[in-house]
Amino acid sequence: MTAAASSVRYLFPPQPQPVVPVAGDDRVYPVHRIFCVGRNYAEHAKEMGVEPEREAPWYFTKPATAIVHSGASVPYPPGTSNYHYEMELVIALGGNAYFVSAEQALRSVFGYACGLDMTRRDLQQAERAKGRPWDIGKAFEQSAVIAPIRAREQFGEIGSQAIKLAVNGQTRQTGKLSDLIWSVPEIVAHLSRYYHLGPGDLIYSGTPAGVGPVNPGDKIVGTIEGLPPVELTIAEPEPTSRER
């Protein structure tokens, strides 16, 4: 810390740095930003009422403070009656990427993880119908669940690895990573045209078909072959100030 930095006086303590565990490593991965790819599996696009096509990928974001570690129990969020899971492969960057090609993109990838893009679907759809941003439906507290990251060298090449999600032991989502409309190198390369990507950036790469609601008491388990599973339990909603 520099002398100037050490003399900074905060009005209140800054929020802790969000981090993600790394499989087989006692160090943690500090999270900078979270990007999410929209409708990157054809069958999911169809269930959302959109005919899939290979148009340029598009994105939305979540705050880094939305990170929740696998195994947590989170309360059913406020303002929604249609709280959905979305199982995803998460790309964790460990190097800089700016205007890189797809052939160069993997050099900046540190590793991969199982993740859940939790969604207030009713709020998302209401805003989408009005042509408004989706933030209230996507970028809310505890909406980015993630398992420990596995280094790219340990995971190997992305191919036909199965991606699945079960709720209370019943399978709800199934697919293969090879079903991605835009591959991992293509996503990183495309996003690098608009951002100076770098270490700490996470990219949730999209979800297969089969998304659906969960309720208090439900347990979600998501798996991708070769990665630690992601688990989440839905708890009762927190009481509001009126209920306290």
pLDDT digits (tens, 9 = 90+) for 212-244: 999 999 999 999 999 999 999 999 999 987 665
DSSP, res 106: G
Q: Which residues contact 100 (CB under 8 A, 6 or more apart)?
A: 107, 108, 188, 189, 192
Read off the tokens for 92.
């964790």
- Among residues 138, 224, 239, 219, the alpha carbon closest in space to that of 174 is found at 224
Cα separation of 127 and 16, whole Å?
31
Q: What is the set of domains in the chain, with CATH numbers?
A: 18-235 (3.90.850.10)
Q: 3-class DSSP state for residue 76?
A: coil
Name the percent of the chain lying above pLDDT 70: 91
pLDDT digits (tens, 9 = 90+) for 48-93: 555 556 678 889 999 999 999 999 999 999 999 999 999 999 999 9
Mean pLDDT of the chain: 93
* DSSP strand pairing (72-75 vs 230-235): parallel
